[in-house]
Structure 1
C-alpha cells in the first residue's frame, strides 16, 4: 500500500472573509495581507515573511503662511490664535477639502488659514506599498500671533558725580 504524500497546511488557520485573517488593503491586526500587521501576510509593516512594500507620507515641497498673510481685521484688533485643520493631499500633490477641526475663535483667521493652504501648499503625494500615488489626510495646527515690539525703554538717568 503506497504511503500518502504529506499535506502542507497553513501555519495559522483562517478564513479569508474573517475580519482578522483575510486579504485586505487596510491596516489591521490580522494575518492577512493588509497594510500593516504582526501576522504572516504581506503587510507593509508586519513581522511576517511576506513581500510588503513601504508606504510613504506626503512631503510638502511648496507653500507657507507668512506674517504678511495676517488677516488685516484680526491684526488691527490684536487677535491671534491657533487653528486646527484637516486637509487632503490628492494624488497630483494639490490640496483639497481643508476643514477647520478646531477654531481659533476668530472666523477670519480660520478662513484665511484654509484658504492659503489650499491655494499655496503643494506636496509630493503619499505612496502605497507598490509606489503608486494615493490620497492622504494631514492634520495640523497653525498659530497666528501678534508680535508686539517692546516698549521703548526710558532714557537712562544721568549719574551724579561727587568730587572729593
Structure 2
C-alpha cells in the first residue's frame, strides 16, 4: 500500500503538463517614443522552441504606435528568456506564449516638474 501511494503521487506530479513561462526580458524604450512621451500596451504572442528560445513573434493587439509594437517583438526575440512548456511526461515541447506588455515612461520623466524660470 505504501509503495502504491508513492508511485501514484509520482505519476500525478509527472502527468500534469505545464505552460511556457516568461522568465525575463530586457526592454529598451525606443528613443523617439521616450522623448515624445509615448506610452502604450502591446499584445503579443511568441512561438517557442523546445529549449524556450523565441522562434517567432506576432502582435495580437497594437499599442497604436508602430515603433512600440516593433520594439516589443524585437526585444522578445533578442533578450526574452522563457521556461519551455512541458508535456505530461515532463519533456519540453514547442509552444506559444501570449501576453501584453505595458510601455510606460520612467516615473522621473512622467512627473518631473517644469524647470523654474531663470532669475531676472
Category of TM-score, reference length = shorter chain: 0.7 to 0.9
Cα drift, residue 75 of structure 1: 1.2
Q: Which structure 1 residue ranges, 4+ long, deviate > 6 Å from structure 2?
A: none
Using the size of structure 2 for normalisation, the TM-score is 0.73
Within 5 Å, which residues of 2 pair with 1:8-157? 53-65=15-27, 69-146=28-105, 147=107, 148-151=110-113
Structure 1: gaps of 5 or more residues: 1-51, 155-164
Root mean square deviation of aligned Cα: 2.1
Cα deviation per residue 1:94-121 (whole Å; 9 max; x = unaligned)?
0121100111111111000100001111
State which structure, 1 or 2, has the greater radius of gyration over its C-alpha atoms. Answer: 1
TM-score scaled by structure 1? 0.55
Task: Name the stretch that deviates more: 140-149 or 75-84.
Answer: 140-149
CA distance in 2, matches of 1:101, 1:60: 17
The structure in which a higher percent of residues are strand is 2
Task: Say which structure is richer in helix.
Answer: 2
Greater relative contact order (Cα < 8 A, sep 6+): 2
Structure 2, unpaired ranges of 5+:
1-13
Contact 2:21-2:97 within 8 A present in 1 as well: no
Specify the SS of the correspondent of 1:105: coil
8 Å CA contact 2:18, 2:85 repeated in 1: yes
